[in-house]
Structure 1
């Protein structure tokens, strides 16, 4: 067994990565617990942020030592929080999903189109992270299934509100919009400005004419 796979998942309580998920349905759960002490929480959050960036850049095989260095901690701290590489994959993925759910709640007071467009821009970041670790996720795991449902529960009302206001095309389903945004997120762009132009064109396709 490699050091990346060290640790035993058996017997660890299944707990949410962040208990503040803004949904009335049970949220997705992973096998690691977010620490209670403030300094330990800072290390945990720094590792998740660093892993998101490194995985997005280097893929799922990225060096865990590099992630620890980027987070400003030693490798022992990484393994103390995430005994296996899979734990880190799942926590990074769920962190992005919960951020999408929180964003949907935070955008409620904005104009319908601005709220939808802002949420879809955040969805691009989620899709980029998911692409990097997609093959490492167990798509049949209840956590993954619950996460997918949480995304739909968060984003679908934003589309509906924009449609009710006549600001998003009425024939678009939420799945249509996700397919569109997910498709452009997976491309290899020459530069970030190109990604922004393509995203703007996609949003124009979702917006109601006139």
Structure 2
């Protein structure tokens, strides 16, 4: 037992090796550790930091959410979802005089044919799209917007145009063209990223 005023080295050593002290030290080390970088490409790391990349992703997600909200609002006026509305307006733009196939719509929307078929079934049920057999290939169908669907799309313009204008109100003509070009190039990059994440195990194993 130590004399009054004399340091208790044994007790101090026991405290240093206690599980509580070790756990507290580990938490402190985690808090003071250098943040893990989320990218490695130098082009995405000005000044060696990923801060701008992370901000860009968050801004992109915020804007995408607002675009989806507007699309959902358009769809509500038809009694359909935003995704179904996007499918409908794509058919209207691509159908021409003969109609348009499911595969062409899927390519236009960067989704699978099965996904488009599901949305088309909803539009047919709502009497917004008509489906008929392709005479040149009876295994396929041609899609056209019905008179009801066309009338609803025409009536929507008075709402649609101001909303779409507002979405890109801050951009100049040159900036909008640059953005359009960049988005076209980013879609294949997104496909590559999705393939990578899709090839990973469902859950990462926790460190032991």
- TM-score, normalization by structure 1: 0.26
Give 1 or 2: higher strand fraction: 2
Bigger radius of gyration, 1 or 2?
2
- TM-score, normalization by structure 2: 0.26
Q: Which has the higher contact order (CA 8 A, sep 6+)?
A: 1
